[in-house]
Structure 1
């Protein structure tokens, strides 16, 4: 098996030598394309050939298309680090990428192919992804099987969203709420490992000896647990009276958790700082959704977008840029293009969340937010796209 995988990697073009390569390229590309189609639909310029209504399609593709692609790229790239096994590469990776792409086309053209076919392909991608990941983790007897379980649950959320679109289940929002819950938990679980670790390593290199972030403790497990319970109740019963109280508690605990990572001390390194900025959107989103439940003058859409356009998009951009540099053998240093992308994604999220406030014109704010958000990923593709298609600089065969 090891010899076969080495042969596949050596014979494959660079784009197929690691899952981060095709998925980190196609995910952002699809995000920009889907956003453009959505804006054209809102403007009345086109009619999407999908059985989903335009808003449901936009929401579905941002979560299960864009975010799902990056999850696949990250998971299959992290697993070799967890297990010591060689990465999935070559034809198996091409087939998995093709299945994801077929899912995007199937959902977009579901008015022609039919919703059942589209759902089968789309959900099937996550079933295959979970099966491949589980095989690797189980073979190495690794402790990260819960992360694989979250991916499988994400596929189930995808199926629920398709069922809602077809009118099979009564709650049309159940699928996307479940997806947001699962992604926030993934960020809480994985981000809680890598953010303090990367921060500690950077601080140590700068000669800082005091106040270094420590390893996750039982407190971190409590925070993740409370967040999971709060979001689970919100997912299944968003109008329940206990929801804003649970979300407030989880948001406050997440802020305390973040404070232990000393993110304010990383201002000189954008690659580390952006991880803290991205994670900060999680307690912000939880507290904003809680505020909506308490009856505050906060837009529900703005609160949700703190978790999606804020936390998810920012963390995705942060992880993709850092992982691409590291796995292509380049120094972990943010150039001007990377800083621009980070600035655009942050500004875009702020505008998207602030647009309903009435402080500035809503339509203008939304348009600028969309341009900033899409622009961030276009900049990423311009800067990192060539790296994804090229061999490692320190090992041309890797």
Structure 2
């Protein structure tokens, strides 16, 4: 009979790969911290990576097609079993999926050594494999209403292929970058538009009686349609300059609508619980990104354009993913749905400062050498804070 010491490591590994959120949230948080630690000095000319991609393209790729898919995988592989009633992906299949994601990160970072084509093939394999896994579960359960998540994964995969083409041909990717950002922001507005009022309502019922946020209704649907139209026009405007003005007007309208939508969720009544407040703070960067991007399209100001993109990527995407990961990890590990001071100070405050500093660097380029490193440092602190505080919960046996 094997001794307890001999079986404990395998048991720990089995526990870690018992649910998708465990490996993908933990290493998904490690990856953006490491990415930023490598990218800032590379961007400032202080170091170099053996990547065939230029620094900005590598940074874009690893955020949009590295970090974000990891969080999506962790979320979907946990949510789909709840949607379908089927067993979650675990064990060896989950290990292989995780290794595929990890291989993509290494391949892109070392693409100068292994060849760009090989690196792209390895990196691009993750999203379609994840989409097929999710689609299989939905089809077997007859769950058609959630096919839209597979469509979103397909759009993100198409954006990644286009990204590789643009970088290979032009040395940078604008159309694919906009396509990826637009796809992810639509996911944030859809998923956030459901979970934020729901979680806020649940908390208000217990702690702050009064009016509750309305359920998803026709106003929300109209805001979603307007956001989709604005993002689509913004995407096409990357190739057709004449669309800059209508895209800008649509962006301003969409930003105003998303802000009005968020006001209905009673964000100012949630300050007593940071686990809820952080969702509202992160979502605020969605309308902010629309408004800044709209102003950029109408004025042609490159600073506003960069500020708008980073309001979405650092503020909305970075903030929302950390908010969801902290809440989901606490919930699935049996912790109270309350964010302690350590979570606020080590995760929520740094990611907010990272977003504000990055937007500030875009609007005040003369301060770039101060604000860009500050933003990068705060970003690293936020994600390492998640690893330190929530890693033990993710590593704990199910």
Give the TM-score normalised by the residue count of structure 1.
0.92
Q: Across the two proteins, how many residue pairs are aligned to each other?
A: 382
1:303 maps to what in 2? 308
Alignment counterpart, residue 334 of structure 2, candidates 329, 333, 342: 329
Is the Cα–Cα contact under 8 Å of residues 57 and 172 in structure 2 kept in the other structure?
Answer: no
2:253 maps to what in 1? 249
2:4 maps to what in 1? none
Alignment pair present for 1:227 and 2:227: yes
1:4 maps to what in 2? none
Q: Report the Cα distance in structure 2 between the residues aligned to 1:107 and 1:334, rounded to whole angstroms.
A: 35
Alignment pair present for 1:291 and 2:295: yes
2:141 maps to what in 1? 140
Is the Cα–Cα contact under 8 Å of residues 223 and 257 in structure 2 kept in the other structure?
Answer: yes
Q: Report the Cα distance in structure 2 between the residues aligned to 1:296 and 1:120, rounded to whole angstroms.
A: 36
Deviations 1:208-231 (A, max 9, x none): 1x3101210122111111101110
Quickly say closer, same or farther: Cα 1:11–1:381, change in 2 above 3 A: closer
Unaligned runs of 5+ residues in structure 2 are 1-9
Q: Report the Cα distance in structure 2 between the residues aligned to 1:360 and 1:104, rounded to whole angstroms.
A: 33
2:79 maps to what in 1? 78
Is the Cα–Cα contact under 8 Å of residues 103 and 122 in structure 1 kept in the other structure?
Answer: yes
Give the TM-score normalised by the residue count of structure 2.
0.92
Deviations 1:231-252 (A, max 9, x none): 0111122341211011111111
Is the Cα–Cα contact under 8 Å of residues 297 and 305 in structure 2 kept in the other structure?
Answer: no
Unaligned runs of 5+ residues in structure 1 are 1-8, 392-397
1:394 maps to what in 2? none
Deviation at 1:178, TM superposition (A): 0.6
Deviation at 1:44, TM superposition (A): 3.1
Alignment pair present for 1:15 and 2:20: no
Q: Report the Cα distance in structure 2 between the residues aligned to 1:141 and 1:148, rounded to whole angstroms.
A: 14
2:3 maps to what in 1? none
Is the Cα–Cα contact under 8 Å of residues 251 and 286 in structure 1 kept in the other structure?
Answer: yes
Q: Report the Cα distance in structure 1 between the residues aligned to 2:325 and 2:12, rounded to whole angstroms.
A: 25
Is the Cα–Cα contact under 8 Å of residues 124 and 161 in structure 2 kept in the other structure?
Answer: yes
2:162 maps to what in 1? 160
Say which SS state the counterpart of residue 294 (structure 1) adopts.
Answer: helix
Quickly say closer, same or farther: Cα 1:265–1:296, change in 2 above 3 A: farther
Alignment counterpart, residue 371 of structure 2, candidates 344, 365, 370: 365
Moved over 6 A (4+): none
Q: Report the Cα distance in structure 1 between the residues aligned to 2:73 and 2:85, rounded to whole angstroms.
A: 18
